[in-house]
Amino acid sequence: MDIFEKTGKSALGSRLRLFSAMITDDAAKIYKWYGLDFAPKWFPVFFVLAQGTEKTITEIAVEIGHSQPSVSKIVREMTNAGLVKENQKSSDKRRNVVALTKKGKSFSDKLTLQLADVDAAIEGIINEARHNLWEALAEWEFLLEQKSLLKRVQEQRKVRESKDVQIVPYSELYQTAFKSLNEQWISTYFEIEEADTKALDNPKSYILDKGGKIFVALYNEQPVGICALIKMDDPDYQYEMAKMAVSPDVQGKSIGWLLGQAVVTEAKGLGASKLYLESNTLLKPAINLYHKLGFKKVVGRSTPYARCNIQMELILTKFD
Is 29 within the bounds of a domain?
Answer: no
Residues 196, 122 within the same domain:
no
Same domain, 77 and 165: no
Answer whether 9's CB lies under 8 Å from 22's CB. Answer: no
146, 170, 191 - which closes a domain: 146
The answer on 166 and 311 residing in a single domain is yes
What local confidence, expressed as pLDDT, does residue 2 receive? 76
Q: Are residues 180 and 310 in the same domain?
A: yes
Residues 222 and 86 in one domain: no
11 occurs within a structural domain: no
Share of the chain above pLDDT 90, in %: 74
Please tell me whether residues 99 and 137 are part of one structural domain: yes
**pLDDT by residue (tens digit) across 218-244?**
998 999 999 999 999 888 899 999 999
Please report, for the domain that includes residue 48, its CATH number: 1.10.10.10
User: What pLDDT, on the 0 to 100 scale, is given for residue 220?
Assistant: 87
**Do 114 and 206 sit in the same domain of this protein?**
no
Residue 186 in any domain: the answer is yes
Amino acid at residue number 219: Y
Maximum C-alpha span of the chain: 88
The CA-to-CA distance between both ends of the chain, in Å, stands at: 62
Evaluate whether 279 touches 312 at the Cβ level (below 8 Å): yes
Q: What is the pLDDT of residues 290-309, one digit of tens each?
A: 999 999 999 888 888 999 99
| Residue 286 within any structural domain of the chain | yes
| Domain contains 125 | yes
Together in a domain, 78 and 127: yes
Q: Above 70 in pLDDT, residue 318?
A: no
Residues 141 and 165 in one domain: no
Last residue of some domain: 123, 146, 169?
146
pLDDT greater at residue 236 or residue 315: 315
Rounded to whole angstroms, the Cα distance separating 153 from 150 reads 5
Asked if 246 and 283 touch (Cβ cutoff 8 Å), the reply is: no
Residues 6+ apart with CB under 8 A from 51: none
Measured between alpha carbons, how far is residue 258 from residues 20, 34, 207, 272, 281 in Å? 43, 63, 20, 19, 21
DSSP secondary structure string for all residues of 79-91:
HHTTSEEES---S
- Could you give the count of Cα atoms lying within 13 Å of 11 in the half-sphere of its Cβ? 12
Per the structure, the complete domain to which residue 74 belongs is given by 34-146
Q: How far is Cα 18 from Cα 11, in angstroms, rounded to an integer?
A: 11
> Total domain count for the chain?
2
Question: Which of 46-55, 56-65, 74-83 has the least mean pLDDT?
Answer: 46-55
58 and 197 housed in the same domain: no
Same domain, 233 and 301: yes
pLDDT 10s digits, 16-45? 999 999 999 999 999 999 998 999 999 999
Does 175 map to a domain? Answer: yes
The residue among 146, 181, 210 that closes a domain is 146
Kindly list the strands in the beta sheet with 222-231, ordered across the sheet, starting from the edge strand earlier in the chain: 165-169, 213-219, 222-231, 239-246, 274-279, 310-315, 296-298
Q: Pick from 230, 258, 245, 255: which is nearest to 189 by CA? A: 245
Comparing 88-92, 101-105, 233-237, 285-289, the range with the smallest average pLDDT is 88-92
Whether residue 12 lies inside any domain: the answer is no
In this prediction, residue 286 carries a pLDDT of 94
Do 305 and 176 belong together in one domain?
A: yes
Sequence-distant (6+) residues with CB within 8 A of 60 are 45, 48, 49, 66, 71, 75, 98
CATH of the domain at 271: 3.40.630.30
Q: What is the pLDDT of residues 123-163, one digit of tens each?
A: 999 999 999 999 999 999 999 999 999 989 888 888 888 78
Residue 228 lies in a domain: yes
